[in-house]
Protein backbone atom coordinates (compact mmCIF):
# COMPACT_ATOMS: atom_id res chain seq x y z
CA UNK A 1 0.00 0.00 0.00
CA UNK A 2 2.96 2.31 -0.09
CA UNK A 3 5.18 3.92 -2.64
CA UNK A 4 6.18 7.12 -0.86
CA UNK A 5 7.06 8.42 2.58
CA UNK A 6 3.67 9.85 3.40
CA UNK A 7 1.51 7.95 5.82
CA UNK A 8 -2.00 9.30 5.94
CA UNK A 9 -4.28 8.48 8.85
CA UNK A 10 -7.90 7.84 7.91
CA UNK A 11 -10.53 7.98 10.66
CA UNK A 12 -13.73 6.22 9.69
CA UNK A 13 -16.20 3.88 11.37
CA UNK A 14 -14.80 0.33 11.40
CA UNK A 15 -16.97 -2.41 9.86
CA UNK A 16 -18.54 -0.43 7.02
CA UNK A 17 -17.45 0.96 3.68
CA UNK A 18 -19.62 4.06 4.09
CA UNK A 19 -18.25 7.39 2.97
CA UNK A 20 -14.78 6.30 4.05
CA UNK A 21 -14.70 4.01 1.04
CA UNK A 22 -14.55 6.91 -1.42
CA UNK A 23 -11.35 7.99 0.32
CA UNK A 24 -9.93 4.46 0.54
CA UNK A 25 -10.35 4.01 -3.21
CA UNK A 26 -8.25 7.09 -3.96
CA UNK A 27 -5.57 6.04 -1.46
CA UNK A 28 -5.53 2.50 -2.85
CA UNK A 29 -5.43 3.53 -6.51
CA UNK A 30 -2.54 5.87 -5.69
CA UNK A 31 -0.82 3.14 -3.63
CA UNK A 32 -0.49 5.74 -0.91
CA UNK A 33 0.59 4.61 2.51
CA UNK A 34 -2.22 4.99 5.05
CA UNK A 35 -3.42 3.72 8.38
CA UNK A 36 -7.13 2.96 8.69
CA UNK A 37 -7.00 4.08 12.30
CA UNK A 38 -10.34 2.88 13.69
CA UNK A 39 -9.75 -0.61 12.30
CA UNK A 40 -6.77 -1.01 14.61
CA UNK A 41 -7.46 -2.69 17.97
CA UNK A 42 -8.41 -0.26 20.74
CA UNK A 43 -5.21 -1.25 22.57
CA UNK A 44 -3.28 0.17 19.61
CA UNK A 45 -5.20 3.44 19.55
CA UNK A 46 -7.94 2.21 17.21
CA UNK A 47 -11.66 1.54 17.44
CA UNK A 48 -14.47 4.08 17.39
CA UNK A 49 -12.78 5.85 20.32
CA UNK A 50 -10.08 7.06 17.95
CA UNK A 51 -12.73 8.82 15.85
CA UNK A 52 -14.35 10.40 18.88
CA UNK A 53 -10.93 11.65 19.97
CA UNK A 54 -10.25 13.12 16.54
CA UNK A 55 -13.66 14.86 16.53
CA UNK A 56 -12.97 16.38 19.94
CA UNK A 57 -9.49 17.70 19.22
CA UNK A 58 -9.04 21.38 19.91
CA UNK A 59 -5.51 21.69 18.52
CA UNK A 60 -6.16 21.21 14.80
CA UNK A 61 -7.19 24.68 13.64
CA UNK A 62 -10.73 23.98 12.50
CA UNK A 63 -12.56 21.18 14.32
CA UNK A 64 -13.97 18.41 12.14
CA UNK A 65 -17.72 17.71 12.15
CA UNK A 66 -18.04 14.09 11.07
CA UNK A 67 -16.00 11.21 9.67
CA UNK A 68 -14.38 10.50 7.30
CA UNK A 69 -11.47 12.55 8.60
CA UNK A 70 -8.05 12.47 7.01
CA UNK A 71 -4.88 13.39 8.86
CA UNK A 72 -1.82 14.30 6.87
CA UNK A 73 0.83 15.29 9.40
CA UNK A 74 -0.54 18.32 11.26
CA UNK A 75 -3.42 18.81 8.85
CA UNK A 76 -6.82 17.31 9.67
CA UNK A 77 -9.68 17.62 7.21
CA UNK A 78 -13.24 16.37 6.88
CA UNK A 79 -15.81 16.17 4.05
CA UNK A 80 -15.42 13.24 1.69
CA UNK A 81 -15.25 15.33 -1.49
CA UNK A 82 -12.55 17.61 -0.06
CA UNK A 83 -10.48 14.69 1.21
CA UNK A 84 -10.74 12.81 -2.09
CA UNK A 85 -9.65 15.86 -4.02
CA UNK A 86 -6.75 16.52 -1.63
CA UNK A 87 -5.35 13.00 -1.91
CA UNK A 88 -6.03 12.84 -5.64
CA UNK A 89 -4.24 16.10 -6.26
CA UNK A 90 -1.16 14.89 -4.43
CA UNK A 91 -1.03 11.63 -6.41
CA UNK A 92 -1.85 12.66 -9.98
CA UNK A 93 -5.52 11.67 -9.92
CA UNK A 94 -7.00 15.08 -10.72
CA UNK A 95 -7.35 16.56 -14.20
CA UNK A 96 -4.48 18.78 -15.36
CA UNK A 97 -6.42 21.88 -16.35
CA UNK A 98 -7.63 24.16 -13.54
CA UNK A 99 -11.07 24.50 -15.16
CA UNK A 100 -11.34 20.73 -15.30
CA UNK A 101 -10.51 20.51 -11.59
CA UNK A 102 -13.57 22.62 -10.85
CA UNK A 103 -15.61 20.43 -13.16
CA UNK A 104 -14.31 17.40 -11.29
CA UNK A 105 -15.35 19.03 -7.99
CA UNK A 106 -18.86 19.52 -9.33
CA UNK A 107 -19.02 15.88 -10.45
CA UNK A 108 -17.73 14.71 -7.07
CA UNK A 109 -20.35 16.75 -5.21
CA UNK A 110 -23.05 15.34 -7.50
CA UNK A 111 -21.82 11.85 -6.62
CA UNK A 112 -22.05 12.84 -2.92
CA UNK A 113 -25.65 13.99 -3.46
CA UNK A 114 -26.38 10.69 -5.22
CA UNK A 115 -24.92 8.68 -2.32
CA UNK A 116 -26.91 10.75 0.19
CA UNK A 117 -30.12 9.93 -1.69
CA UNK A 118 -29.26 6.23 -1.67
CA UNK A 119 -28.73 6.45 2.09
CA UNK A 120 -32.10 8.15 2.51
CA UNK A 121 -33.93 5.26 0.83
CA UNK A 122 -33.47 3.16 3.98
CA UNK A 123 -33.25 6.10 6.41
CA UNK A 124 -35.76 8.68 5.14
CA UNK A 125 -36.72 9.97 8.58
CA UNK A 126 -33.53 9.93 10.64
CA UNK A 127 -30.10 8.36 10.65
CA UNK A 128 -30.42 7.93 14.40
CA UNK A 129 -33.39 5.56 14.04
CA UNK A 130 -33.16 1.93 12.91
CA UNK A 131 -34.43 0.99 9.45
CA UNK A 132 -37.04 -1.15 11.21
CA UNK A 133 -38.43 2.03 12.80
CA UNK A 134 -39.04 3.71 9.43
CA UNK A 135 -39.97 0.90 7.07
CA UNK A 136 -43.19 2.35 5.55
CA UNK A 137 -41.46 5.68 4.86
CA UNK A 138 -38.45 3.84 3.44
CA UNK A 139 -40.67 1.89 1.05
CA UNK A 140 -42.31 5.10 -0.16
CA UNK A 141 -39.04 6.96 -0.48
CA UNK A 142 -37.38 4.06 -2.33
CA UNK A 143 -40.14 3.69 -4.88
CA UNK A 144 -39.75 7.36 -5.88
CA UNK A 145 -35.96 6.98 -5.84
CA UNK A 146 -36.03 3.94 -8.15
CA UNK A 147 -38.62 5.45 -10.47
CA UNK A 148 -37.30 8.99 -10.78
CA UNK A 149 -34.01 9.78 -9.08
CA UNK A 150 -31.96 6.71 -10.01
CA UNK A 151 -32.66 7.03 -13.76
CA UNK A 152 -32.02 10.78 -13.57
CA UNK A 153 -28.61 10.38 -11.92
CA UNK A 154 -27.57 7.46 -14.14
CA UNK A 155 -28.77 9.34 -17.21
CA UNK A 156 -26.74 12.37 -16.18
CA UNK A 157 -23.50 10.40 -15.78
CA UNK A 158 -24.21 8.58 -19.04
CA UNK A 159 -24.41 11.97 -20.79
CA UNK A 160 -21.20 13.17 -19.13
CA UNK A 161 -19.41 10.04 -20.37
CA UNK A 162 -20.91 10.33 -23.87
CA UNK A 163 -19.84 13.95 -24.14
CA UNK A 164 -16.30 13.19 -22.99
CA UNK A 165 -16.17 10.19 -25.36
CA UNK A 166 -16.97 12.56 -28.25
CA UNK A 167 -13.59 14.21 -27.56
CA UNK A 168 -11.85 10.86 -27.21
CA UNK A 169 -12.04 10.41 -23.42
CA UNK A 170 -12.84 7.07 -21.79
CA UNK A 171 -13.45 8.60 -18.35
CA UNK A 172 -15.82 11.16 -16.84
CA UNK A 173 -13.45 14.02 -17.47
CA UNK A 174 -10.36 14.49 -19.61
CA UNK A 175 -8.17 11.75 -21.00
CA UNK A 176 -7.14 9.96 -17.79
CA UNK A 177 -8.83 8.26 -14.88
CA UNK A 178 -9.43 10.65 -11.98
CA UNK A 179 -10.82 10.37 -8.47
CA UNK A 180 -14.35 11.07 -9.70
CA UNK A 181 -14.24 7.86 -11.78
CA UNK A 182 -13.25 5.93 -8.65
CA UNK A 183 -16.17 7.44 -6.75
CA UNK A 184 -18.70 6.71 -9.49
CA UNK A 185 -17.41 3.12 -9.50
CA UNK A 186 -18.22 2.92 -5.79
CA UNK A 187 -21.78 4.20 -6.22
CA UNK A 188 -22.46 1.73 -9.03
CA UNK A 189 -20.96 -1.15 -7.04
CA UNK A 190 -23.14 -0.17 -4.10
CA UNK A 191 -26.29 0.15 -6.18
CA UNK A 192 -25.71 -3.26 -7.75
CA UNK A 193 -25.49 -4.69 -4.24
CA UNK A 194 -28.49 -2.80 -2.86
CA UNK A 195 -30.89 -2.88 -5.81
CA UNK A 196 -29.83 -5.71 -8.15
CA UNK A 197 -33.22 -5.96 -9.88
CA UNK A 198 -33.60 -2.24 -10.42
CA UNK A 199 -30.05 -1.96 -11.73
CA UNK A 200 -30.46 -4.91 -14.10
CA UNK A 201 -33.46 -3.17 -15.65
CA UNK A 202 -31.47 0.05 -16.20
CA UNK A 203 -28.15 -1.43 -17.38
CA UNK A 204 -28.78 -1.52 -21.12
CA UNK A 205 -29.69 2.18 -21.28
CA UNK A 206 -26.61 3.16 -19.26
CA UNK A 207 -23.91 1.04 -20.82
CA UNK A 208 -21.20 3.71 -20.55
CA UNK A 209 -21.71 3.96 -16.78
CA UNK A 210 -21.66 0.18 -16.43
CA UNK A 211 -18.50 -0.06 -18.56
CA UNK A 212 -16.82 2.64 -16.47
CA UNK A 213 -17.53 0.60 -13.36
CA UNK A 214 -15.87 -2.44 -14.97
CA UNK A 215 -12.91 -0.39 -16.20
CA UNK A 216 -12.22 0.97 -12.70
CA UNK A 217 -12.56 -2.51 -11.17
CA UNK A 218 -9.88 -3.70 -13.63
CA UNK A 219 -7.31 -1.09 -12.65
CA UNK A 220 -4.49 -3.14 -11.12
CA UNK A 221 -4.35 -1.36 -7.75
CA UNK A 222 -8.13 -1.34 -7.43
CA UNK A 223 -8.40 -5.02 -8.45
CA UNK A 224 -5.79 -5.91 -5.81
CA UNK A 225 -7.65 -3.86 -3.20
CA UNK A 226 -11.03 -5.40 -4.02
CA UNK A 227 -9.53 -8.87 -3.62
CA UNK A 228 -7.92 -7.99 -0.28
CA UNK A 229 -9.34 -8.05 3.23
CA UNK A 230 -8.93 -4.29 3.34
CA UNK A 231 -12.15 -4.09 1.28
CA UNK A 232 -14.95 -4.51 3.81
CA UNK A 233 -17.88 -6.38 2.22
CA UNK A 234 -21.11 -4.45 1.69
CA UNK A 235 -23.46 -4.99 4.63
CA UNK A 236 -26.66 -3.68 6.15
CA UNK A 237 -24.96 -1.01 8.27
CA UNK A 238 -23.57 1.25 5.56
CA UNK A 239 -24.93 3.52 2.83
CA UNK A 240 -25.67 0.74 0.35
CA UNK A 241 -27.91 -1.86 2.00
CA UNK A 242 -29.78 -4.71 0.42
CA UNK A 243 -33.33 -5.05 1.71
CA UNK A 244 -35.14 -7.30 -0.77
CA UNK A 245 -38.47 -5.64 0.00
CA UNK A 246 -37.14 -2.29 -1.21
CA UNK A 247 -35.74 -3.50 -4.56
CA UNK A 248 -37.76 -3.56 -7.77
CA UNK A 249 -39.50 -6.82 -8.67
CA UNK A 250 -37.13 -9.27 -10.37
Ligand X SMILES: N[C@@H](CCC(=O)N[C@@H](CS)C(=O)NCC(=O)O)C(=O)O
Phi and psi torsions of 74, nearest 5° = -85, -15
Q: Which is nearer to ligand X, 79 or 110 (CB)?
A: 79
Pair 190, 118: CB distance under 8 Å: yes
Contact between residue 182 and residue 111 where contact means Cβ atoms under 8 Å apart: no
Residues 104-133 that bind ligand X (CB under 6 A): 112
Size of the site for ligand X (CB under 6 A): 8
Minimum distance of ligand X from residue 186's CB (angstroms):
13
Q: How far apart are CA 219 and CA 25, in angstroms?
A: 11
What burial class does residue 41 get, using C-beta atoms within 10 Å of its C-beta: 0-12 exposed, 13-18 middle, 19+ buried?
Answer: exposed
Residue 162 DSSP one-character state: H
Nearest to 68 by CA among 12, 124, 7: 12
CB closer to ligand X, 94 vs 202: 94
* Nearest distance from C-beta of residue 204 to ligand X, angstroms: 31
Residue among 19, 85, 208, 213 that touches ligand X (CB under 6 A): 19
Show the site string, 143-182: x = touches ligand X by CB under 6 A, - = not: ----------------------------------------
17, 64, 71, 79: which one binds ligand X (CB under 6 A): 79
> Toward ligand X, which CB reaches closer, 112 or 246?
112
Site for ligand X in 37-76 (CB under 6 A): 66-68
Q: At what angle do helices 179-194 and 98-122 cross, to 10 degrees?
A: 20
Q: Which residues bind ligand X (CB under 6 A)?
A: 18-19, 66-68, 79-80, 112
Amino acid sequence: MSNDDTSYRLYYWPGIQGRGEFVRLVLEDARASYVDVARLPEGEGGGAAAIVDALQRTDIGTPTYAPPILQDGELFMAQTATICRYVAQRHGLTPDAVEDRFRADALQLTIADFADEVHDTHHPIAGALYYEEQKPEAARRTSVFLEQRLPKYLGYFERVLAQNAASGGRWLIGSDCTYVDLSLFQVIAGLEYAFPNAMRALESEHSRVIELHARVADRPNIAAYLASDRRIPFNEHGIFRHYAELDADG
